[in-house]
Amino acid sequence: MGEAPAFLFDDLQNGYENELDLVCSGKETTIVVGKTKYVIGGYDDSALSLGVKVFDNSIGKWVYPKVLGTKPTVSSDHWALPLCEDRILVIKNGSTAGDSIWFLEVDTPIVRQQSKVLGSKVVAWSKGVKGYAGKPIIISGPSGVGKGTLIAKLMKEFPSMFGFSVSHTTRAPRVKETDGVHYHFTNHSVMEQEIKDGKFLEFASVHGNLYGTSIEAVEVVADAGKRCILDIDVQGARSVRASSLDAIFIFICPPSFEELEKRLRSRGSETEEQIQKRLRNAKGELDQARLPGLFDHILVNDDLETCYKSLKNLLGLHDFADNTYESVPKKFGLPLVHSVSKVGSEIYINSGAADLQNAKNSFVLDVSSRKGGAPGRTRGLDLYPICPFGGFADRIEDLS
């Protein structure tokens, strides 16, 4: 990492006045990005999340923009500073582990796109997380093909490596299905509104009901240090392929159409009308799956164990033991922040807390390798402490 700078926070405050002028703190902060003024703070709604308002130069008034992404809850106070022309870094003071670092995007591609669609001002929140996540795995296939069984085997053999993304649906729960485990069961109007709010990675109308994968459902799995598995239909896979999500796409198909019908009937959970509808949908899905550019791999589930072995080989797991997988490190929460300063892509954070030698507790937040962003997480952050006399201590293991 190289030599640590010889200066400490007092030197920063004396030598980088132009940078420091951009930083402000309080329960309500005012930040100028480009020619636009933003105020962050106060209560946004009944959920007590941080509010945002923007000064619209064209009408000379403050307006409340449409806010995308998961909103941070209010704190005693916070620090805010612009990182560049498209986003603002917000550090919540005295927050709990995993809730310290946030980004308010004000002119990123998703903000510009949604602003054009909605015809109004838009901003988007994204929580900052240390490190990167493994590629999500998209597994698709017609009803009755056995993809659920394959995923269950993968989860059982590698419980600490993979996490199953829980989808949303407007259909009624079946016998023994649990809300939040098998699906997030919701009603049609609520899910439609959340789709309009940009909270879903993909969604589709299947068999007369809405199904979808929320962005938060995928991010929660990655936050736990696991690779996310998404069990979605072909229509949903096409939507994900068109999104910014970098994933592996796998399609599971039956050995024959006759075998698929046999498996559907053996379940005994659907009427004849429902079976015929699923078979019609299956024909379309099988045709689409073979189109170039949609799926990376196609596996035939003729024999379950053989297909499962092929799936593990695709994921590089043929010689892998789950007990060798490194668990996710503990989350880290910043202590009470006393001052913040910015030099290049590094944010210097000084806490009023003292260590055993009564020295200042100082940290560096490096955002130079950040990836992702709203409406999901901003990953790739690095946070590490500075020793009192100019040396860097070991980097903090996790910020998520």
Taking residues 256-263, what's their average pLDDT?
86
Annotation says 87 is catalytic: no
**348-369 mean pLDDT:** 70
| DSSP 3-state of 342 | strand
Query: In the predicted model, what is the mean pLDDT of residues 245-262?
Result: 89
Return the pLDDT at 295.
Answer: 96
Domain annotation covers residue 141: yes
pLDDT digits (tens, 9 = 90+) for 226-250: 999 988 888 889 888 887 778 899 9
Give the residue with greater pLDDT, 34 vs 324: 34
* Whole-prediction pTM: 0.74
Residue 172 has pLDDT above 90, yes or no: yes
Query: 68-82, pLDDT tens digit by residue?
Result: 888 898 888 899 999
pLDDT single digits (tens) 111-124: 998 899 889 999 99
Q: What is the mean pLDDT of the chain?
A: 82
**Which residue range is the domain that position 170 belongs to?**
137-324
CB contact at 8 A, 282 and 235: no
**Where on the phi/psi map is residue 382: left (φ > 0), alpha (ψ -120 to 50), or beta?**
beta
**235 located within any domain:** yes
Q: Does residue 278 have an active-site annotation? A: yes
Task: List the beta bridge partners of residue 122.
Answer: 66
Better-scored residue on pLDDT, 357 or 181: 181
CATH number at residue 291: 3.40.50.300
What percent of the chain has pLDDT above 70? Answer: 83
pLDDT band at 16 (very low <50, low <70, confident <90, very high): very low
Average pLDDT over residues 269-280: 85
What is the percent of the chain with per-residue pLDDT over 90, rounded to a whole number? 35
- Count up the domains in the chain and report the number: 1
pLDDT (tens digit per residue) in 154-171: 989 998 899 888 889 999
The pLDDT of residue 10 is above 70? no
pLDDT of 294 > 60? The answer is: yes
Instruction: Please state which of the ranges 41-50, 207-216, 252-261, 390-399 shows the lowest mean pLDDT.
Output: 390-399
* 282 lies in some domain: yes
b/e per residue 358-376 (b: at least 16 CB within 10 A): eebbbbbbbbeebebbbbb
Confidence class for position 47, pLDDT limits 50, 70, 90: low
Is 267 catalytic? The answer is: yes
Active-site residue, from 265, 267, 280, 290: 267
Q: What is the pLDDT of residue 269?
A: 78
Q: What DSSP designation does 71 have? A: P
d(CA 229, CA 220): 12
User: What is the pLDDT, as a whole number, of residue 36?
Assistant: 92
317 is a domain residue = yes
Domain-embedded: residue 265: yes
Per-residue pLDDT band at 2 (split at 50, 70, 90)? very low
Q: Is residue 190 part of a domain?
A: yes
Angle at which helices 257-267 and 272-289 cross, to 10°: 140
In a domain, 18, yes or no: no
The per-residue pLDDT for 332 is 57
- Catalytic: which of 227, 238, 278, 379? 278
Tell me which residue has tokens 């870094």: 89
Decide if 88 is inside a domain.
no
CA distance linking residue 337 with residue 352, whole number of Å = 6
Q: What is the pLDDT of residue 323?
A: 46
Q: What is the DSSP string of 153-192?
A: HHHHH-TTTEEEPPPEE-SPPPTT--BTTTBEE--HHHHH
Report, as an integer, the average pLDDT of 214-224: 88
